[in-house]
Amino acid sequence: MDIGVKFCGGCNPMYDRGKLYRRIIEAFPEHSFEAADEAKKYETLLAICGCERACVNTDSYKKEKEIRIFQDTIPEI
């Protein structure tokens, strides 16, 4: 499955969102991950958030399901 990934704005410099993204890719090698593209429709869109504020806006993305990830949580896909 192709999964789109959208990152938050990164206002929490103490949290390494890229490290979590790499862990997710390793945990789900059967899926294909890519930077989310507003022109493409995704079965699943991951919104990787650095804090509970979850400022990432995904309204303009086409998706069947959205998973918001907070800090070091590995989601169920």
- Kindly report, residue by residue over 23-50, the tens digit of the pLDDT: 999 999 999 999 999 999 999 999 998 8
**Which letter does DSSP use for residue 30 in this model?**
T
pLDDT for the residue numbered 35: 96
In 3D, which of 39, 47, 57 has the Cα closest to residue 3? 47
What is the pLDDT at residue 68? 92
Interacting residues of 68 by C-beta distance below 8 A, sequence separation 6+: 47, 49, 54, 56
